[in-house]
């Protein structure tokens, strides 16, 4: 943002400035660094291309005031949300339970994990630097020298500004002054457009090395992830429950829908107001989660569950309980014919390793339509068994291509001479595997980091470094886009100490023909209103983080 200097030496703004010195300011809450190194270069560039730059920054005036109008509408809407949520009181908590998950973004923007702090810093430097470069270049094109450029840290919030002498601004017309004040917001808008266009063209730029949108590739699996030890970087996700996944967006969308489906089914059970335990378990038994596997009889001896407290049963060593699914005409287990589900659970459930069970033949009626699994298709020496799911959990099968394993690498060596692309049928037959996940679909969605870019050839498939190049470019562009958009919108707001204050003051002096004292009163009214709306919007955002939107 540009900081103006009045003739009496006082600066218009909260940031401390010096009139004739570049002494750096340091205090318990604020410190800054000032430099004049770029002054002459910026002024020479601005004067050399002044006609083009004046036309360029004239376009920024319209964009900046459109942004100001949009920000005012956003602030009013957010403030109304806060008032409405306060009036509804406790109903906010109830409504937000489900909407919190429904409102989660498909492609996360700035929901930042710790590992992305570096991208946040890069995006901030690029956004702030391009913003201030706009102010300095606009001032130079109008013949106004920049006295110095400063970067500062106020408490924990970084920022920057350019110092412009107020005496030089006073002799300029209002339209020329507006070009200087609106230049920062305009450059942030241009930065957003450039990031968006680059993101859209990135698959074309990298098409010789990477395919885009065919299958997501695993970038990292955190040690705390539920898939740690099962998936590794470089492996390619093919399907979720036999439905093809093309990119990380589809991965998130599919798992979000599955999670919401579980929430809806739990709400359905609550709506029944069923007090009979058997009836409730019968409803669960008849749900679409009747997905089973043909377990050999000889696996079952010695795998009974261990009884806990309150008729609960647990498995040891990371195993999970499985229970038999009976044929419709069979005389074996049937939830509807029992009087005590806990008794059935004790008699008919077994602790099995999901990693082993998922390799068996499928049975049951809850698999996708592409798989014609029959509930009675198991042999006489096998039982069709499904996992016992806790409330909110579900059974999810993930099909993927293995990477960096001896069997898969040997298959790659045989196929490398044919120069086959990753994902071909030959490649899948050598490396394809699957795993079974039992738990919350929402936690699974964010348990691993994926990229939509997949190396073209097997030579790249064996190396981990190529996976990170598209991801690094995408994240840098994405963070820069969001930070630049936020910085531009914030500075266009009619708020004290931001660019919006100077923009509003200039436009009032053009439009309103009254005494200067009345102009200051009008300006103060709008600035106080805008600042209040901004504070209410911040409170609204904090409340949404706690309770979730609705």
Q: Which residues are tagged catalytic?
A: 132
Tokens 């998950």 correspond to: 101
Q: Is the dihedral of CA 510, 514, 520, 525 positive or negative?
A: negative
DSSP 214-268: EEEEEEE--TTSTTBTTB-TT-EEEEETTEE--SHHHHHHHHHHHHHHHHHHHHH
Strand pairing report for 362-364 and 146-154: unpaired
CA distance 456 to 207: 8
CA distance 446 to 284: 27
Q: Where are the alpha helices (DSSP H) in 289-420?
A: 341-348, 354-357, 406-416
CA distance 542 to 536: 10
CA distance 141 to 145: 9
Where does residue 69 rank: exposed (0-12), middle (13-18), buried (19+ CB within 10 A)? exposed
Q: Output the CA–CA distances (angstroms, integers) from residue 448 to 117, 127, 222, 253, in the order listed.
A: 17, 29, 7, 15
DSSP, res 200: H
Tokens 């507006």 correspond to: 178
> Are the beta carbons of 232 and 403 closer than 8 angstroms?
yes
> Are the beta carbons of 332 and 375 closer than 8 angstroms?
no
In 3D, which of 376, 377, 383 has the Cα closest to residue 350?
Answer: 383
DSSP, res 395: E
CA distance 413 to 409: 6
């Amino acid at each position: 943002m540009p900081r103006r200097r009045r003739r009496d030496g006082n600066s218009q703004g909260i940031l401390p400035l010096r009139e004739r010195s570049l002494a750096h300011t340091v205090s318990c809450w604020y410190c800054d660094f000032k430099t004049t190194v770029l002054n002459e270069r910026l002024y020479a560039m601005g004067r050399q291309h002044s006609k083009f730059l004046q036309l360029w920054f004239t376009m920024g005036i319209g964009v900046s005031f459109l942004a100001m109008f949009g920000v005012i509408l956003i602030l009013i809407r957010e403030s109304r949300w806060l008032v409405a949520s306060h009036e509804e009181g406790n109903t906010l908590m109830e409504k937000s339970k489900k909407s919190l998950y429904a409102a989660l973004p498909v492609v996360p923007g700035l929901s930042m994990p710790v590992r992305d702090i570096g991208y946040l810093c890069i995006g901030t430097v690029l956004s702030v630097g391009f913003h201030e470069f706009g102010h300095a270049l606009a001032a130079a094109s109008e013949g106004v020298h920049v006295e110095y450029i400063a970067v500062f840290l106020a408490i924990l919030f970084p920022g920057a500004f350019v110092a412009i002498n107020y005496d030089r601004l006073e002799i300029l017309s209002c339209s020329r002054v507006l070009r200087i004040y609106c230049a920062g917001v305009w450059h942030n808008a241009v930065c957003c457009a450039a990031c968006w266009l680059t993101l859209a063209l990135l698959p074309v730029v990298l098409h010789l090395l990477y395919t885009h949108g065919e299958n997501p590739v695993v970038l990292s699996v955190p040690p705390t992830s539920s898939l740690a030890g099962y998936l590794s970087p470089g492996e390619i996700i093919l399907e979720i429950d036999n439905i093809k996944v093309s990119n990380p967006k589809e991965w998130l969308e599919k798992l979000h829908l599955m999670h919401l489906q579980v929430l809806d089914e739990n709400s359905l059970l609550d709506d029944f107001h069923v007090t009979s335990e058997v009836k409730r378990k019968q409803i669960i038994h008849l749900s679409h989660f009747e997905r089973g596997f043909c377990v050999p009889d000889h696996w079952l001896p010695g795998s009974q569950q261990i009884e806990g407290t309150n008729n609960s049963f647990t498995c040891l060593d990371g195993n999970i309980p499985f229970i038999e699914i009976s044929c419709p005409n069979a005389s074996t287990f049937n939830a509807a014919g029992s009087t005590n589900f806990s008794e059935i659970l004790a008699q008919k459930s077994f602790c099995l390793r999901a990693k082993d069970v998922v390799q068996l033949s499928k049975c049951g009626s809850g698999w996708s339509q592409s798989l014609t699994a029959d509930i009675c298709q198991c042999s006489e020496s096998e039982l069709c068994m499904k996992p016992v799911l806790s409330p909110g959990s579900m059974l999810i099968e993930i099909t993927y291509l293995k990477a960096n394993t001896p069997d898969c690498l040997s298959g790659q060596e045989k196929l490398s001479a044919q120069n086959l692309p990753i994902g071909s049928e030959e490649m899948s037959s050598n490396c394809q595997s699957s795993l079974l996940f039992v738990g919350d679909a929402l936690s699974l969605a964010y348990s691993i980091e994926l990229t939509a870019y997949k190396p073209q050839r097997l030579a790249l498939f064996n190396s981990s470094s190529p996976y990170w190049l598209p991801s690094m470019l995408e994240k840098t562009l994405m963070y820069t886009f969001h930070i630049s958009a936020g910085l531009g919108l914030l500075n266009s707001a009619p708020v004290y100490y931001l660019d919006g204050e100077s923009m509003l003051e200039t436009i009032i002096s053009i439009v309103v023909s009254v005494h200067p004292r009345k102009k200051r009163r009008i300006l103060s009214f709008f600035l106080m209103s805008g600042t209040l709306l901004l504070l209410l919007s911040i409170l609204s955002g904090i409340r949404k983080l706690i309770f979730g939107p609705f």
